[in-house]
Amino acid sequence: MDKLGIISVYIDDFALKKRQRYGTVMVDVDNRKIVDMIESREATDVSRWLAEYPNIRVVSRDGSQQYAAAITEAHPSAMQVSDRFHLFKNLNDRATDAFQKLFQGRIAIPIMPGTQDLRYEILIGTKSEQIQLVKKLRSEGRSKGEIVLLTGLSARIVKKYIDIRECDVPEEKQTVRALGHEEAVKKLSERTNRVKELCDNGLSLTEITQKTGFTLAAVKNYLSADFSPINAHYGKQREGKLERFREDVFRWRAEGLTYREIHERIRESGYDGTQDAIRGFISKERRIRRDLQAVVGGDPVELIDKKWIIRLLYKPIKDIKGISPEQLTAIYDNYPLARDILDIVNEFKALVKAKIPDALTPWMGKVASLGVPELDMFVNGLNQDIDAVMNSIATDFSNGLAEGIINKIKVIKRIMSGRCRFDLLRNKCLLLDCAT
């Protein structure tokens, strides 16, 4: 290929073998074919390689500072363009880290209107609460049959609960887990109040760390307006066989289906666990809900998995089944920083897609005003590569073509497994591109 004919190129790296060896590929923007490949991504090697092509004017790349230094050394006047996909990915990753820190466990919010029907109350309630609910319905003039339909309880259980004397209703007992969680929340609240009191007295962050013995990160966390001592990691469950059926299991149970019927339904969708596991899964969820409810003041709560908040970075809420607009509003009320993070991420994506580079600097100012360390890290990365980032917003260049070429290289590499020296791989890729 005529080296003097190359004007604009994409460069990107790709893995060669398991021993952390990488190669770099150069793709011509105009004819969409591989220009060359080298068995390195080190700055010195890439710079020497790029210098062999004196007519390069534009280079699109990812955010690698090695590539940036190599291009600057080989072609100081060439325009460098940062890849938009990597910008979006890095921003989403930083926002995800911020959410992981903000929501350390599942999110407890006041139960939404329309969610707390009688069957749901029966499902999450203790035995004492179930008895009191049945007695209340009976005192309102409901027949036994009506109570059965309203609560989903069996006729035998309804009759038993109605006949129980008030003095025989079991007392509420707080679980050991609930007591431990409540004590931990109390202790953390005391630490937070102490730090805030010292800050109000005019002490600097360093002085507070010296006086309390807390780390600087902990002090900053306690002083954050969105810090909550309640959630911690309490209620966070490991992914198990039943996790993907969570919503269906609770809905069916609230509708009055038996454990056997629920087991039969989810077995058709691939569940291979036992019926007893479903019973234990619901019991554990009930305990967690009750414990969190006791900590937040006794009002009924529902738990939202933070993964649904994270998915809002990628999809609009209408495309996410695990959270409703009303639930999202309740989360925003308790965690206003969550709204700010989502708004700032969406604003960045909008200005990039609308190709408004002049809006980048004001956007970075907004990020600085939020005081979110994870987003500050992203902005620092933009500042280190600001010219390439501006060019990525103003132009249409993207590394999408290079990523597609790399997928083709990987296929060829796997086909040649066991005899795939780099020179052989390079020659085959170049010959295949020349033949098309």
| pLDDT of 122 | 59
Please check the confidence at residue 150 and state whether its pLDDT lies above 90: no
| pLDDT of 258 | 81
Please check the confidence at residue 279 and state whether its pLDDT lies above 90: no
What is the average pLDDT across 100-111? 75
Query: Poorest-confidence range of 186-190, 296-300, 326-330, 408-412?
Result: 296-300
What is the average pLDDT across 369-391? 92
| pLDDT of 369 | 92
- Average pLDDT over the chain, rounded to an integer: 81
Phi, psi for residue 87 in degrees, rounded to 5: -65, -45
Query: Poorest-confidence range of 24-38, 114-128, 337-351?
Result: 114-128
Distance CA 41, CA 25 (A): 9
| pLDDT of 156 | 85
Between the alpha carbon of residue 319 and those of residues 221, 243, 322, 325, the distances in Å are 33, 20, 9, 11
| pLDDT of 436 | 64
Q: Which residue has the higher pLDDT, 401 or 250?
A: 401
| pLDDT of 378 | 94
Distance CA 120, CA 428 (A): 64
Helix axes 176-200, 275-295, angle to 10 degrees: 40
| pLDDT of 232 | 46
| pLDDT of 342 | 95
What is the average pLDDT across 161-189? 71
Q: Which amino acid is at 365?
A: G
Q: What is the pTM of this model?
A: 0.66
What is the average pLDDT across 184-192? 81
| pLDDT of 13 | 80
The percent of residues above 90 in pLDDT, for the chain, comes to: 22
Query: For the domain with range 3-83+398-435, which CATH number is right: 3.40.50.11610, 3.30.420.10, 3.40.50.10800, 3.90.960.10?
Result: 3.30.420.10
| pLDDT of 416 | 79
Between the alpha carbon of residue 155 and those of residues 58, 135, 152, 220, 336, the distances in Å are 77, 14, 9, 56, 46
β-bridge partners, 21: 17
What is the average pLDDT across 61-81? 90
Confirm if 301 and 333 have CB atoms less than 8 A apart. Answer: no
pLDDT band at 312 (very low <50, low <70, confident <90, very high): very high
Please check the confidence at residue 121 and state whether its pLDDT lies above 70: no
| pLDDT of 248 | 80
What is the average pLDDT across 141-167? 80
Please check the confidence at residue 382 and state whether its pLDDT lies above 60: yes
Please check the confidence at residue 64 and state whether its pLDDT lies above 90: no
Which among 81, 79, 92 is positioned nearest to 348, based on CA atoms?
Answer: 92
pLDDT band at 107 (very low <50, low <70, confident <90, very high): confident
Encode pLDDT of 32-48 as tens digits: 888 899 988 889 999 99
